[in-house]
Amino acid sequence: MLHEPVRLPSGTFTISKAFTFEAGHQLSSLPSEHKCGRQHGHSYEVEVILTSSALNGPGFVTDFGALAPFKGFLDAELDHRNLHEVLPFEPTSERLARFLAGWFIQNLQPKISGRLLAVLVRETASSWARFDVEER
């Protein structure tokens, strides 16, 4: 049992949740000898990072379950697809992270608590790209 009250510091809370999907792509603007210029695939991991200075409900930045529509979008639109055929841009991880941040802000942000801080897209265990959302 605690004998003295603990002073709680001010600051922000940050959470993240990772999602996965499988997809192929080809970066056609690269020289033909570049390996990423050929059709290839990845087991993508997408991480959304949210922040808030206050907690809601039982003590959440947002309920992880409220992020399910994002997983639904990944599954319906990107999973087991050729990304260069379904996206309106050359699908580098950097551009994909920015696109997914835009989708999240437009479609999910208004319905949840917390603010999207960043989206991280991991192509492999050792390579990733992150898009940080400017505070509005």
DSSP string, 33-95: TSGGGS-EEEEEEEEEEEEESS-BTTTBSS-GGGGHHHHHHIIIIITTEEHHHHSSS---HHH
Q: Residue 104 and residue 98: Cα distance in Å, rounded? A: 10
In a domain, 7, yes or no: no
Q: Is residue 97 part of a domain?
A: yes
Least confident of 35-49, 63-77, 120-134: 35-49
Dist. CA 116–CA 109, nearest whole Å: 7
Residue 27 lies in a domain: yes
Residue 22 within a domain: yes
- The answer to the question of residue 116 being in a domain is yes
**CATH code of residue 69:** 3.30.479.10
pLDDT per position as a tens digit, 21-43: 999 987 777 777 777 666 688 89
Instruction: Supply the range of the domain harboring residue 106.
Output: 13-132
pLDDT of res. 25: 80
Average pLDDT over residues 42-67: 96
Beta bridge partners of 23: 42, 81
Is 80 annotated in the active site?
A: yes
User: What domain count does the chain have?
Assistant: 1
Confidence of residue 131 (pLDDT cuts 50, 70, 90): very high
The rounded mean pLDDT for the chain is 92
pLDDT of residue 38: 63
- The catalytic residue among 22, 34, 40, 80 is 80
Which one is catalytic: 36, 45, 47, 84?
Answer: 36
pLDDT at 49: 98
Residue 101 lies in a domain: yes
Burial state string for 26-59 with b = 16 or more CB within 10 A and e = fewer than 16: bbeeeeeeeeeeeeeebebbbbbbbbbeeeeeee
Q: How many CA atoms lie within 13 A of 113 on its CB side?
A: 16
Residue 2 forms part of a structural domain? no
42 is catalytic: no
Structure tokens at 82: 């050729």
pLDDT tens figures, 82-120: 999 999 999 999 999 999 999 999 999 999 999 999 999
> Is residue 77 one of the residues assigned to a domain?
yes
Residue 4 falls in the annotated catalytic set: no
